Structure 1
Amino acid sequence: MLPSTLALVDDDTEYCEFLAQHLRSQGVDVTAYSDSSDLLADEAPYRFDFYVLDLMLPGVGGTELLRIIRRRTQAGVLIVSGRLGSEVFAEVINAGADMYLTKPVTFEQVELAVRAVHRRIMTTAKTATAWKLDSRRSILTAPDGQTVELSATDLMLMECFLQANGDTVSRDHIRSLLGLSHAADSDNSLHATIYRLRRRIERVTPLAVPLQSQQKVGYQFRAPLIAA
């Protein structure tokens, strides 16, 4: 997994140009800067999904640039530099870098490092915003940490949404799980069951309940939902 946008800051213009070309060939929208001041003077310097920085830069030094970026964004930051020494590694990690590579390094190694850091960041972000279903305890935990005690019917529905992995669950499938007939009056029972689940969640957390109706099709849980 690669980020959509990336800022590359390195005063080695030839290296910067060819690394940018390599990353662009992988589908990344790369903006290259040969001076840290050029990045900071950009109209939106903190818009990028990822940053690859050298340490020995004209303008603001690489470590200080890293600190500035970290005050504004939690985007991935990879340091690629010729500076050596354990104290350099500790300095940049303490300043907020996610990974440090020492030059000389191949473009493929830089790409792999960017992939690894971005994948970890995206996985962490998904987990932090996910709803968690504990089937054994019949508990749904919202992203804000609030817990919802589920009835047997609620749990059946939530397990259905968990298995759907974000896809829409048809009304017929839910009716079958609930033991409802296909008669018109079963729609009222179906709506009432969904409504009770929604209200149970709303009473516990101020977060918007991501349970949405797809007209004439079924229902969808439109948020990351994982098993606890």
Structure 2
Amino acid sequence: MRILIADDDPQLIRALRITLSAKGYDVVTASDGAEAISAAVDHRPDIFLLDLGMPRLNGLDVIAGIRGWSQAPILVVSGRAGAADKVEALDVGADDYITKPFAVEELLARIRALTRRVTPDESGPVVRLGDATIDLSARSVTISTPDGAERVRLTPTEWQVIEVLIRNAGRLVTRQTLLTKIWGTEHAEDTGYLRLYISQLRKKLEPDPGAPVFIITEAGMGYRLENAQA
């Protein structure tokens, strides 16, 4: 599997190249945003690790550029720890976000989670949440509008979250269950991180994200998918 690392810190690139190469990954590197775009086109990586604060093109511009032609997972590796930075990166098209400094074990776990691919279930349900139609088998989401159907993109992580909720529609899914299924047991307590992805899904699927009627929070416990129609 090929990973593109784009960061303007040569020491970090060197350390990640050694670590990831030792784990069997084919590593390609770039030291700025423009170089990252060029390397992405030339090498077609399977996953991207991108810093946000790069020269020439910042990380957000690189993500937007990549998303024009690739759906490969994008993991942002940044020193910006604010929630607004994370939300902006996810909105542009990133799939996950880890802040510097980080533990190598956590980075490897995030990479494994992003590259984990469940074989599509051919009998996967098609459900409607109001104007949104979600087809698990086709991995597609469309929103009905007066002008027709509008395609909505979900990140790989958002797909994993909504799939667990759909397959347990009407039932409580605990936060620990979601975190363990998607990120592994080592992240079973990262509830703030899960809230961020639930918020992103509500923005994409709920008519009023501030007053959700489909993805319901069960205070102190987890989440429940309500009002889903087959």
Equivalent residue number for residue 172 of structure 1? none
Identity of aligned residues (%): 30
1:118 aligns with 2:109: no
Equivalent residue number for residue 74 of structure 2? 77
Distance between the aligned counterparts of 1:89 and 1:43, measured in 2? 22
Equivalent residue number for residue 87 of structure 1? 84
Distance between the aligned counterparts of 1:6 and 1:43, measured in 2? 10
Relative to the length of structure 2, the TM-score reads 0.51
Secondary structure, in 3 states, of the residue corresponding to 2:34? helix
Please identify runs of 4+ aligned residues in structure 1 that moved more than 3 A.
130-134
Contact 2:2–2:46 under 8 Å retained in 1: yes
Shift of 1:111: 1.1
Contact 1:46–1:73 under 8 Å retained in 2: no
Distance between the aligned counterparts of 1:35 and 1:131, measured in 2? 41
1:66 aligns with 2:66: no
1:18 aligns with 2:18: no
Secondary structure, in 3 states, of the residue corresponding to 2:29? strand
Distance between the aligned counterparts of 2:59 and 2:106, measured in 1? 20
Distance between the aligned counterparts of 1:5 and 1:111, measured in 2? 14
Distance between the aligned counterparts of 2:72 and 2:124, measured in 1? 28
Contact 2:28–2:39 under 8 Å retained in 1: no
Secondary structure, in 3 states, of the residue corresponding to 1:116? helix
1:34 aligns with 2:31: yes
Distance between the aligned counterparts of 2:33 and 2:101, measured in 1? 21
Equivalent residue number for residue 209 of structure 1? none
Relative to the length of structure 1, the TM-score reads 0.52
Shift of 1:70: 1.1
Gaps of 5+ in 1: 135-142, 146-228
Secondary structure, in 3 states, of the residue corresponding to 1:58? coil
Secondary structure, in 3 states, of the residue corresponding to 1:131? coil
Distance between the aligned counterparts of 2:56 and 2:21, measured in 1? 26
Secondary structure, in 3 states, of the residue corresponding to 1:51? strand
Gaps of 5+ in 2: 126-136, 140-230
Secondary structure, in 3 states, of the residue corresponding to 1:105? coil
Aligned length: 128
Q: Deviation string for 1:74-117 (max 9, x for gaps)?
A: 10110010012111011001011111111110222211101011
Distance between the aligned counterparts of 1:108 and 1:75, measured in 2? 22
RMSD: 2.3
Equivalent residue number for residue 131 of structure 1? 122
Distance between the aligned counterparts of 2:138 and 2:87, measured in 1? 33
Distance between the aligned counterparts of 1:24 and 1:100, measured in 2? 21
Equivalent residue letter for 1:116? A
Distance between the aligned counterparts of 1:73 and 1:64, measured in 2? 14
- CA, structure 1 residues 84+133, in 2 after alignment: closer, same or farther (shift >3 Å)? closer
Equivalent residue number for residue 5 of structure 1? 2
Greater RCO, 1 or 2 (C-alpha within 8 Å, sep 6+): 1
Contact 1:89–1:100 under 8 Å retained in 2: yes
